[in-house]
Amino acid sequence: MIKNTVLKLALAAVYFSVAGGLGMSMGSGLAHAAAPMVKTSAPAYYRTMLGAFEVTALSDGTIKLPVDKILMEPEQTTKQSLAHAYLQAPLETSVNAYLVNTGSKLILIDTGTATLFGPSLGKLLANLKASGYEASQIDDIYLTHLHPDHVGGLMNNGAMAFSNARIHVSQAEADYWLSQKNMEQASADAKSFFQGAMDALNPYKAANKLDTFNQDGELMPGLSAHSTKGHTGGHTSYLPESQGEKMLVVGDLIHVAAVQLDKPEVTVTFDSHAKEAAAMRQKIFTQAAKEGLVIAASHMQFPGMGRLKKSGSGYQWLPVNFTQMP
Ligand SMILES: [Zn+2]
Ligand SMILES: [Zn+2]
């Protein structure tokens, strides 16, 4: 009996595999075609609340970075850390920006790259629109620093992308990167960084829409500036805060999570002041872990928002929980 059942099952399996092999031709007379792959990504925005503020993380896309060549440690050491995290070089790296609606102001922190780094980036405006906002609605843009992957998006095909926005950046950052003299004295490689900052900022400056600040503290109700210099001389983190909830937007305080969470002392070639950058990372990480503070980082994997937990001599990344809005 059992033998018989097994035989029947085996025959059924053969039947279905033959029928499957013949495709749909038995029924409809049409050959069965697999659906073509779509190969596009979902609009990349992530929305959550911070007290009464609405926060939207916006992806500008990703870029493959040769992190084994740009971290200041032996290539082999980087490769080992990447392998440990099931990653490899070049590492697909997120570029994120953050939109905060305070209820009375619409604020954007950093702007992505626009067309500066090829077709896998420059998605910020499309994702902003997909998230339900127009670029013209943005009142204020706060820049963590003036590297091209943070300011490139200020311009769109030669025009100001944010027609009604005022731009805010620390005085030290503006003084350094917008100086013609500094650009002339820079190495050939570094010149493009100065040029990128000037191309992005100068039209706003000419239109009298560029503001600078030179100390930490409140910039507008619910938003304060905190110097996190090191990566660049005027690098600034921004802290939106509502009803006791806080999020520190840290820009380029960290580039490669798979390495720098475990070893915050490892710096990147893009750091203007490497020693200061490493010390600042340690300082902010220590503080964030102690307070359970949500940090939002430009190059952590999208949406780049999470908390840090001390783990041995390094840190563990705890991404924010997913939240569904009605
Ligand atoms: Zn940077
Ligand atoms: Zn960056």
Predicted pLDDT of residue 6: 43
Distance of CA 82 from the midpoint of ligand 2 (Å): 20
Distance of CA 275 from the midpoint of ligand 1 (Å): 15
Q: How far apart are CA 48 and CA 55, in angstroms?
A: 5
Predicted pLDDT of residue 30: 66
Q: Kindly identify the ligand whose nearest atom is closest to the C-alpha of 197.
A: 1
Predicted pLDDT of residue 29: 58
Residue 191 in this model has a pLDDT that exceeds 70: yes
Q: How far apart are CA 120 and CA 172, in angstroms?
A: 31
The answer to which of 11-25, 77-91, 219-233 has the lowest mean pLDDT is 11-25
Q: Kindly identify the ligand whose nearest atom is closest to the C-alpha of 234.
A: 1
Predicted pLDDT of residue 305: 98
Distance of CA 62 from the midpoint of ligand 1 (Å): 15
Distance of CA 142 from the midpoint of ligand 2 (Å): 14
Residue 10 in this model has a pLDDT that exceeds 80: no
Predicted pLDDT of residue 326: 87
Residue 288's contacts (CB-CB under 8 Å, 6 or more residues apart) are 248, 295, 307, 308
Residue 128 in this model has a pLDDT that exceeds 80: yes
- How confident is the model over 83-126, as pLDDT tens digits? 999 999 999 999 999 999 999 999 999 999 998 888 999 999 99
Q: Kindly identify the ligand whose nearest atom is closest to the C-alpha of 232.
A: 1
Residue 304 in this model has a pLDDT that exceeds 50: yes
Q: Kindly identify the ligand whose nearest atom is closest to the C-alpha of 193.
A: 1
Position 5 confidence tier, pLDDT thresholds 50, 70, 90: very low
Angle at 27 between CA 21 and CA 31, to 5 degrees: 55
User: The dihedral of CA 310, 315, 318, 319: what is its sign?
Assistant: positive
**Comparing C-alpha atoms, which of 187, 72, 60 is closest to residue 130?**
60
Position 273 confidence tier, pLDDT thresholds 50, 70, 90: very high
**What percent of the chain clears pLDDT 70, i.e. is strictly above it?**
91
Instruction: State the average pLDDT over residues 165-188.
Output: 97
Distance of CA 135 from the midpoint of ligand 1 (Å): 23
Predicted pLDDT of residue 117: 87
Distance of CA 316 from the midpoint of ligand 1 (Å): 23
Residue 14 in this model has a pLDDT that exceeds 50: no
Distance of CA 144 from the midpoint of ligand 2 (Å): 9
Q: Which residues surround ligand 1, an ion (CB under 5 A)?
A: 147, 252
Distance of CA 183 from the midpoint of ligand 2 (Å): 19
Distance of CA 229 from the midpoint of ligand 2 (Å): 14
The answer to which of 21-30, 124-133, 186-195 has the lowest mean pLDDT is 21-30
Distance of CA 151 from the midpoint of ligand 2 (Å): 10
Distance of CA 34 from the midpoint of ligand 2 (Å): 41
Distance of CA 146 from the midpoint of ligand 2 (Å): 9
Q: Kindly identify the ligand whose nearest atom is closest to the C-alpha of 267.
A: 1
Residue 13 in this model has a pLDDT that exceeds 70: no
Predicted pLDDT of residue 17: 42
Q: How far apart are CA 264 and CA 255, in angstroms?
A: 10
Residue 241 in this model has a pLDDT that exceeds 90: yes
**Comparing C-alpha atoms, which of 47, 44, 48, 55 is closest to residue 223?**
55
